[in-house]
Chains A and B, each alone.
Chain A
Amino acid sequence: MTHLDDGRLRAMMDDELSDSDASSVRLHLEDCNPCVTRLAELEERSALVARALTQLDTAAPPTGAHSAVLERIKASRPSRASRPTRHDTRAEPPRSDGRGRFSRTPFARAAMLTLFLGASVATALPASPVRGWIASGWARAVDLFSSPENALTPVSPPEYGGPISNGDVGAQDGVLPGVRVDITGDEISVVLRGIDSGTTIVVRMVPGREAGASAGDPATFRTAEGRIEVLNAAGVVFVDLPQEATSASIEVNGGIYLRTAGERTDVTGTILLRTTDEIHLRVP
């Protein structure tokens, strides 16, 4: 009988297996005493670590931290605000009516993001402290996209007809394998296919002219000029988009999730989080 490895048992213990995987593990445990013993050992060890870590909690969070943070924000603002950018005059925040045309800067691409916040996000967070901004963001996005000149027209990137090679794979010991390509022609297309439901796609806007993608098993990679393909990924996929690309798109399971073109970036995927240089999307 082949025994279960520690990773699978640990994931079982942490309720991190899919329903079908958990069922097969339970079935195995019914007939395998060594694995039952092993699971008990893992549970005991984890409890030991939990108890040990609580020994480290010798200091309480300081009072007055909120005021201190606000002071730091206030103190840092002049220097951060005066940081030069290539397009200072275009880096202004969107107008209060939500119809600002978002400019594209190397430092703050998200400042010009045309966000398409999923209504499902807001409804899934009835008591969330961020519900307020999601609601307002959603209203702004609806307003923005209902305007004919701003409407997002989904267009699939053209099928690539050139040679495609297998990507660089082979990182060991849990480090994510992946691929990187230098952009040519200023355009980059990242295509993700066979991506599992629930997968998080972390899009990072990186300096320079190199695009990249990485993901754990069972993902495979292929690259071609101006194009990266990630196949059959699950869990988390990292996509690095070069800030110097004038046009970039991310296609997931046949739908466009993100596209930059000229002065704007459109996001249609379900957004978990966005910052000035990152967007986290979730595959429904």
Chain B
Amino acid sequence: MNFEATFEELYPGLFRYCHRLTGDPDLSEDLAQEAFVRLYDRQVEGTDEGLRSWLFRTATHLVRDRYRIGENRRRLLEAHPVEPSGAEPPDETVQRKEEVAHVREALEHMTEREREMLMMRHAGFSYREIAEAVDVAASSVGTLLARAERNFASIYRPPGENG
């Protein structure tokens, strides 16, 4: 396997996937790197599709292992703390953090599996790849995605509709 080429091609997307799931850049970097260490360590060989699926599935399991609900909330608070008094952050920064917090809040109301399925679908994965990653029937993916997005939309308010 050309490890370097595979890394260059897939690492940015894997990091982004982990970051969307966890909201923590340091943890995401750690998890994405660990997935590649395991790729190397377990002598994974396969097609482009197979390697991509394996990496994202491994990262999904790593996130599950290392980022449980209680830990999730704690880290989210750390990642998006209430701005301390004193130096005022730029309005743009405040607004961006608020937008992120709104998205995170909606995601928090979803199940772990719903979050993973949404992230994978919006990262371009096929129903079969999603089914393989989260251990559900491929024939159920459409139904579960539709439900996940309905749950998300019932909580989330886009910028400009929050008040």
From 232 to 284 in chain A, residues with beta carbon under 8 angstroms from any chain B beta carbon are 234-236, 238, 271-278, 280
Interface centre among A8, A42, A53, A72 (most CB of B within 10 A): A53
Minimal beta-carbon separation of B39 from chain A (angstroms): 8
**Given B8, B20, B119, B136, which contacts A216 in the complex, CB threshold below 8 Å?**
B136
A132 touches B2 (CB 8 A): yes
Chain A contacts of B126 at CB under 8 A?
Answer: 16
Taken together as a complex, chains A and B put the C-alpha atoms of A277 and B94 apart, in Å, by 47
B54 lies within 8 A of A42 (CB): no
One digit per residue, 1 when the CB lies within 8 angstroms of any chain A CB and 0 when it does not, for chain B 29-48 equals 10011101100111111111
A174 interface residue (CB < 8 Å to B): yes
Return chain A residues, CB-CB under 8 Å to B50. Answer: 272-273, 280
A203 at the interface (CB under 8 A from B): no
Per-residue 0/1 for A48-79: is the Cβ within 8 Å of any B Cβ (1 yes, 0 no)?
11111101111101100110110011001000
**A215, B131: Cα distance in complex, Å:** 10
CA distance A275 to B104 in the complex (A): 34
Chain B residues touching A, majority SS: helix
> Are B46 and A110 in contact (CB-based, < 8 A)?
no
Say whether B45 contacts A273, CB under 8 Å.
yes
How far, in angstroms, from A200 to B125 measured CA to CA in the complex?
A: 15
Instruction: Name the distance in Å between B151's Cβ and chain A's nearest Cβ.
Output: 10
Interface residues on A, range: 35 or more
- B96 contacts chain A at the CB level, 8 A cutoff: yes
A66 and B7 form a contact (CB under 8 A): yes
Determine the chain A residues whose CB is within 8 A of the CB of B118 once the complex forms.
49, 53
Q: Assuming the A-B contacts A66-B7, A174-B137, A215-B137, are A8 and B44 also in contact, with contact meaning beta carbons closer than 8 angstroms in the complex?
A: no
Interchain CB contact under 8 A, B100 and A58: yes
User: Using a CB-CB cutoff of 8 Å, which residues 99-129 of chain A contact chain B?
Assistant: 110-111, 121, 124-125, 128-129
A11 within 8 A of B: yes
Please give, as numbers and ranges, the residues of chain A lying within 8 Å of B62 by CB-CB distance: none
**Residue A46 lies at the interface, judged by CB distance under 8 Å to chain B:** yes
A7 within 8 A of B: yes
Is A1 among interface residues, defined by CB-CB distance under 8 A? no
CB closest residue in chain A, given B6 = A129
Q: Which residue of the partner chain, among A59, A111, A217, A278, contacts B25 with CB atoms under 8 Å? A: A59
Tell yes or no: A202 within 8 A of B by CB: yes
What CA separation (Å) do A124 and B37 show in the bound complex? 27
The residues of B that contact A5 with a CB separation of less than 8 Å are 143
CB neighbours (8 Å) of B19 from chain A are 56-59
| A230 interfacial contact with B, CB 8 Å | no
The answer to the question of B73 belonging to the interface, with a C-beta cut-off of 8 Å to chain A, is no
Distance (whole angstroms) from the CB of B148 to the closest CB of chain A: 8
Q: How far is the CB of A232 from chain B (nearest CB, A)?
A: 12
- Asked if B15 is at the interface of the complex by the 8 Å CB criterion, the answer is yes
- Return A233 CB to nearest CB of chain B, in Å: 9
Residue from B29, B53, B131, B138 within 8 A of A273 (CB atoms) = B53
Which one of A57, A128, A271 contacts B20 once the chains associate, using CB atoms below 8 Å?
Answer: A57
Q: Is A179 an interface residue (CB 8 A)?
A: no
Q: Chain A residues near B51 (CB, 8 Å)? A: 130, 273
Please name all residues of chain B whose beta carbon is closer than 8 Å to the beta carbon of A6 when the two chains form the complex: 142-143, 146-147, 150
A50 and B23 in contact, given A59-B28, A69-B37 (Cβ under 8 angstroms)? no
Q: Which of B63-71, B81-89, B152-160 contacts A (4 or more CB under 8 A)?
A: B152-160
B4 at the interface (CB under 8 A from A): yes
Residue from B32, B118, B128 having most chain A Cβ neighbours under 10 A: B128
Write 15 A-B pairs (CB below 8 A) sorted by A numbering: A6-B142, A7-B144, A10-B145, A11-B142, A48-B156, A52-B156, A55-B100, A56-B103, A61-B16, A68-B33, A129-B1, A130-B51, A133-B45, A235-B127, A273-B54
Query: 5 shortest A-B CB distances, which residue pairs?
Result: A216-B137, A235-B138, A273-B46, A7-B143, A273-B50
